[in-house]
Structure 1
Amino acid sequence: MIEVNGLTKRYGAVTAVNGLTFTVRPGHVTGFLGPNGAGKSTTLRMILGLNRPTSGSATIDGRPRPAGLRHVGALLDAGDVHGGRTADAHLRALARGIGLPRRRVAEVLEEVGLAGVARRRIGGFSLGMRQRLGIAAALLGDPPVLMFDEPINGLDPEGVLWVRGLFRRLAAEGRTVLVSSHLMSEMENTADRLVVIGRGELIAEESLAGFAARGTGASVTVRTPDPAELAAVLSLEGAQVRPEGGDALTVTGLSAARVGELAHRRRIMLYELAPRTASLEQAFMELTAGHAEHRAGDPPMPAGPAEHRGRRLPMTTGPAEHQAGDPR
């Protein structure tokens, strides 16, 4: 379990993280969301003990600092590896440091689909291959706590499906899984719970369904042989009604129960009556609107302390993804 209490990080006059408090529990995939510059990577680094907080605390299973790869595995930057090493050598060096046998390296390379390129130099890997290698390193010590920062970047559709299944399996095994991402569609398909931050402050900590329900995009889809008559009835009740062609209407401003009640009262037949919740993306855009660091049309901001200060950008050399056994 990850526990964050009043976590704050300041760089001079700039506050990157401001009084964050949340808990990430085992048995779930927890998505860590926020606009660019929200402080996600800074928070992850403080949880891992790589950055020292200005105030507050972060613990993993009650420890203020992670106790090695057997206790917590993390992927923060897929490009932060020595390009001259082979994948096998990179993982063997990590394994030796925590007393793991060489067969464990072979196991994780096989699990992430890199067994066929284990002796290739990492400098020739695509971003997707580096992501797989970073995930292999996180899994190496078979830890109960796992943290991933933007793990989907560079993966092809097959790789995305694979990593979704991996995260769900890890959570089903009772592990704590925290995944930071800016891809709403990916979190919608992967996460059970969400921690959402903006400008370094907590916006929400709840289930994915609960967060999505807070958006105002909820609507009702209704199909009827009398769409014009039903639209008139619903409009008189203050609903916004949008014809969808044929016999379908989209209704906002009234619940599905109220739409059905009004239709019954006027003896209007319904073929379909289905509530539609707001999408995660809609809820995210609405609830983080006042917390975005930059918006389209904003004037350029002067350079300041970057959220990823000191980190190398991932290198890409070749196709976005790689299949094990590919002869490249």
Structure 2
Amino acid sequence: MCASVVGVIRVSGLSKRYGDVLAVHDLTFTVPPGRVTGFLGPNGAGKSTTLRMILGLNRPSSGTATINGRPFAHLRAGLRHVGALLDANDVHGGRSAAAHLSALARGNGLPRRRVHEVLAEVRLAGVAGRRLGGFSLGMRQRLGIATALLGDPPVLLFDEPVNGLDPEGVRWVRDLFRRLAAEGRAVLVSSHLMSEVEHTADRLVVIGRGELIAEESVAEFAARGSRAGVSVRTPAAAELAALLTRAGAAVTAEGVDALTVTGLSAPRVGELAHTHGIVLHGLATRTASLEQAFMELTADRADHRAGERR
């Protein structure tokens, strides 16, 4: 498959209010082509509300969400422009996989061959005639991905796409998303599984209580966690600690001969030690996990009230 045009999602000043609840507040971010963007936030952050506004399913209270410069509602044959998986269970149990996709293909002016192509792509060709009521959750997830791919669109959105998949299926989805992005598509993936986002996404959009917390690369976000830094071992720990502190670093002693340094890179620490004749027995960059950084940076943005906004 090959997208006919490069896709981009732009969200600008987007807000959504339900009565007294401000589910999304002045949210602005971009999902560029050629990248997998992870969409993260604690429960109640407003992720699903935002996805629904991008797709025209919910009307914003203010602000805009566009796909290639136009609101989704203004796009004819929508599946040619954007494909989405929001709820794998939102299908008619009495229809077969082939019938479900065929109806969508007809409604969007797509050739019948696309049904067979996407069923093969998601490895459901052998059960094309089976009724969806007998599908497992993992099979429904694959069908939902097939639906998203049906129009060969340049923009793709997926909400919790690996739920119900076995390890082989999870790896398949990971590789699929990377390939779709490599073809020039804009791919937005919302998930609560940090390990999958860490292995799949190039960049992140992180929100909390409907507001933007971060929009940056996975590495940049993880580096903001408190466990990120530089580990140093030296017999002159006190001398080096004083030197690094004067250079603007934050230094924590980890035993007699070990230090954890934040605010300076490992190469800079090594250069300063060498210049001042301090012997190092060990020097390494220590990165925080995405999960640790996420837990720290969203700790005050979680919303645990009943009727959570996702």
Counterpart for residue 9 of structure 2: 2
Q: Describe the superposition over 1:62-111 as per-residue Cα deviations: whole angstroms up to 9, x where unpaired.
A: 11125210111000001111112111111111111112222211110111
Deviation at 1:46, TM superposition (A): 0.5
The answer to whether the aligner puts 1:307 opposite 2:302 as a matched pair is: no
Counterpart for residue 20 of structure 1: 27
Structure 2 vs 1, CA of residues 97 and 219 (structure 1 numbering), >3 Å: closer, same or farther? same
| Amino acid of the structure 1 residue aligned with 2:37 | T
The answer as to whether partners of 1:233 and 1:262 remain within 8 angstroms in 2 is no
Structure 1 gaps of 5+ residues are 295-300, 309-328
State how far apart, in whole Å, the 2-side matches of 1:38 and 1:119 are.
39
1:258 to 269, 288, 293: 269
TM-score, normalization by structure 2:
0.86
State how far apart, in whole Å, the 2-side matches of 1:264 and 1:290 are.
42
The answer to whether the aligner puts 1:57 opposite 2:64 as a matched pair is: yes
Deviation at 1:9, TM superposition (A): 0.7
Counterpart for residue 317 of structure 1: none
**Bigger mean CA deviation after superposition, 282-291 or 130-139:** 282-291
Counterpart for residue 298 of structure 1: none
Counterpart for residue 325 of structure 1: none
Q: Pairwise CA RMSD of aligned residues? A: 2.3
- Give 3-state SS (helix, strand or coil) of 2:79's partner: coil
The answer as to whether partners of 1:131 and 1:153 remain within 8 angstroms in 2 is yes
> Which 4+ runs in 1 deviate beyond 4 A?
230-238, 263-267
Structure 2 vs 1, CA of residues 254 and 139 (structure 1 numbering), >3 Å: closer, same or farther? closer
The answer to whether the aligner puts 1:289 opposite 2:299 as a matched pair is: yes
- Give 3-state SS (helix, strand or coil) of 1:307's partner: coil
Q: Describe the superposition over 1:125-144 as per-residue Cα deviations: whole angstroms up to 9, x where unpaired.
A: 12111111100000000001
The answer as to whether partners of 1:240 and 1:251 remain within 8 angstroms in 2 is yes
Deviation at 1:180, TM superposition (A): 0.8
Structure 2 vs 1, CA of residues 266 and 177 (structure 1 numbering), >3 Å: closer, same or farther? same
The answer as to whether partners of 2:159 and 2:190 remain within 8 angstroms in 1 is yes
The answer as to whether partners of 1:230 and 1:263 remain within 8 angstroms in 2 is no
Counterpart for residue 54 of structure 2: 47
- Give 3-state SS (helix, strand or coil) of 2:72's partner: coil
The answer to whether the aligner puts 1:240 opposite 2:252 as a matched pair is: yes
Counterpart for residue 107 of structure 1: 117
Deviation at 1:292, TM superposition (A): 0.6
State how far apart, in whole Å, the 2-side matches of 1:158 and 1:242 are.
41
- Give 3-state SS (helix, strand or coil) of 1:83's partner: coil
State how far apart, in whole Å, the 1-side matches of 2:135 and 2:185 are.
29
Counterpart for residue 3 of structure 2: none
1:157 to 151, 161, 167: 167
Q: Describe the superposition over 1:220-252 as per-residue Cα deviations: whole angstroms up to 9, x where unpaired.
A: 3456xxx6x355655666733446xxxx95634
The answer as to whether partners of 1:2 and 1:60 remain within 8 angstroms in 2 is yes
The answer as to whether partners of 2:222 and 2:288 remain within 8 angstroms in 1 is yes
Aligned residues: 292
Q: Describe the superposition over 1:5-42 as per-residue Cα deviations: whole angstroms up to 9, x where unpaired.
A: 11111110011111111111111111111101100000
The answer as to whether partners of 2:231 and 2:261 remain within 8 angstroms in 1 is no
Deviation at 1:273, TM superposition (A): 2.0
The answer to whether the aligner puts 1:173 opposite 2:180 as a matched pair is: no
- Give 3-state SS (helix, strand or coil) of 1:19's partner: strand
- Give 3-state SS (helix, strand or coil) of 2:80's partner: coil
State how far apart, in whole Å, the 1-side matches of 2:105 and 2:37 are.
27
Counterpart for residue 131 of structure 2: 121
Counterpart for residue 210 of structure 1: 220
